[in-house]
Amino acid sequence: MKAIVFHRYGPPDVLALQDVPVPRPVAGEIRIRVHASTVNRTDTATLRAHPFFARAMTGLLRPKMQTLGMDFAGVVDELGDGVLEFQPGDRVFGLSPDRFGAHAEYLCLPANGAIARIPEGTDFDAAVVCEGAWYANSTTGLLEAGDTCLIYGASGAIGTAAVQLARQRGAVVTAVVGSRHLELAATLGADRIVNYEAEDFTSIGETFDLVFDAVGKTSWRACRPLLKTSGIYAATDLGPYWSNILLSTWSGLSGSGRVRIPFPDDAPGFVRHLAGLMADRKFSGVFDRSYPLDDIVAAFRYVETGQKTGIVVINIP
C-alpha cells in the first residue's frame, strides 16, 4: 500500500510516499480502507518533535511512529477475530491518537477505539472533523448553560469546533477573529464577534467565565482582565517562555484551576458523541482546502503557516 513515512524529525521535506506492507488486523481490531485524513497542528508538531520534551512519548532520537495522521474516514474492509461492533462495508470515521497512521491507504485500529459510523449523507472528506473538536471539547466541557466564554482564534480547526460545542452546552459565545472570518463566526453561531484587526479584544468591557485561546497567540497576562473572579484561561500552546504550562502547573498545585492547557481524554466516547451531533446537524466541520496524498508535503507547509481556516483535508484515492 501507499503511505507517507518519515524516519527522522524535521521539516515537511523529510516526508516521503513509499510502498509499505498492508497491515492485517489482529484479534479485536478492524482494518479501514482510508479515503480521507487531515494535516493538523498535532501532525506538524509531531513531525518536528515540538516541544522537545514530546520526544519522551514519540521517540527520543527518531520517531517511533513513522506514519502520521490522526483523523480518518473510510470503509471497514477486514475484521480481526472477535469483532462484533462493525461489519465489512461500514463507513466509519474517527481518531487514532495513540498510533496515528492515517496518512496511508489502510489503517488497523481496535474496534472499541475512537471510531463511529459516518452519519448518512456525509461524505468521507466532510467526516474528518475529530482532532480539532477533541481538543476543543476538553475546554468547552468546562462550560455550563448560561456561562460566558470568549474564543480567540475562532477560525481554526479547534476554534470553529469550540464555538459550536460551546453553543451546544448553552454558553454565550464571543468569537475573536480577523476581518475575513467575520461572516464565518456568525454562521457558526457566535453571539458576539470581535474583529481583532479593528479593536483590542482585551478592552471590550466584558468579563467571561472562560477565555479560550484556540491558536496559542495570547497570554494569561493579556487576557486576565477579561476573566471573572473565578474565570478560567485556557490555551492550546505553551505560551511565551512556556508561561502557560508553568502557570497551569501552579494553578493545579494551588487548587485555583484558573490557567489550563487542555489535555483531552476519552477519545472513543467523544467520537461517538460527535457522531450524534453530526447526525442531528448540530455540528459540522469547516474546511479550508484539500490535497492528494502524494502532495502532502505542500499540505504540511501550508498548515505550518498558521493561516488555515478550519481543516486541511488529505484525499486518498
What digits encode the pLDDT tens for the residues 19-61? 999 999 999 999 999 999 999 999 999 999 987 767 877 888 8
pLDDT, residue 60, reads: 82
Average pLDDT over residues 85-99: 97
Burial of 191 (0-12, 13-18, 19+ CB in 10 A): middle
- Mind listing the pLDDT tens digit for each residue in 230-271? 999 998 876 565 556 655 665 655 555 578 777 888 999 999
Q: Are residues 236 and 150 in the same domain?
A: yes
Identify the domain containing residue 143 by its residue range.
Answer: 132-260
pLDDT, residue 259, reads: 80
Q: What is the DSSP string of 159-175?
A: HHHHHHHHHHTT-EEEE
pLDDT, residue 159, reads: 97
pLDDT, residue 248, reads: 61
Share of the chain above pLDDT 70, in %: 93
- Rg of the chain over Cα atoms, rounded to whole angstroms, equals 20
End-to-end CA distance of the chain: 12
Question: What mean pLDDT, rounded, does the chain reach?
Answer: 93
Domain for residue 305, yes or no? Answer: yes
Domain count, the chain: 2
Domain for residue 98, yes or no? Answer: yes
Domain harbouring 8, CATH code: 3.90.180.10
β-strands 148-152, 172-177 pairing: parallel
Q: Are residues 136 and 254 in the same domain?
A: yes
pLDDT, residue 77, reads: 97
CB 228 within 8 A of CB 209: yes
Q: Are residues 255 and 164 in the same domain?
A: yes
Domain for residue 271, yes or no? Answer: no
H, E, C per residue of 233-285: EEECCCCHHHHHHHHHHHHHHHCCCCEECCCCCCHHHHHHHHHHHHHCCCCCC
Q: Are residues 144 and 98 in the same domain?
A: no
Lowest-confidence segment of 83-87, 161-165, 244-248, 275-279 by average pLDDT: 244-248
Domain harbouring 227, CATH code: 3.40.50.720
pLDDT, residue 90, reads: 98
More confident of the two residues 92 and 63: 92
Q: Are residues 191 and 306 in the same domain?
A: no
Q: Are residues 8 and 104 in the same domain?
A: yes
pLDDT, residue 216, reads: 85
- Mind listing the pLDDT tens digit for each residue in 164-206? 999 999 999 999 999 999 999 999 999 999 999 999 999 999 9
pLDDT, residue 51, reads: 73
pLDDT, residue 244, reads: 61
What is the arrangement of strands in the sheet containing 259-260, beginning at the earlier edge strand? Answer: 192-195, 172-177, 148-152, 208-213, 227-235, 259-260
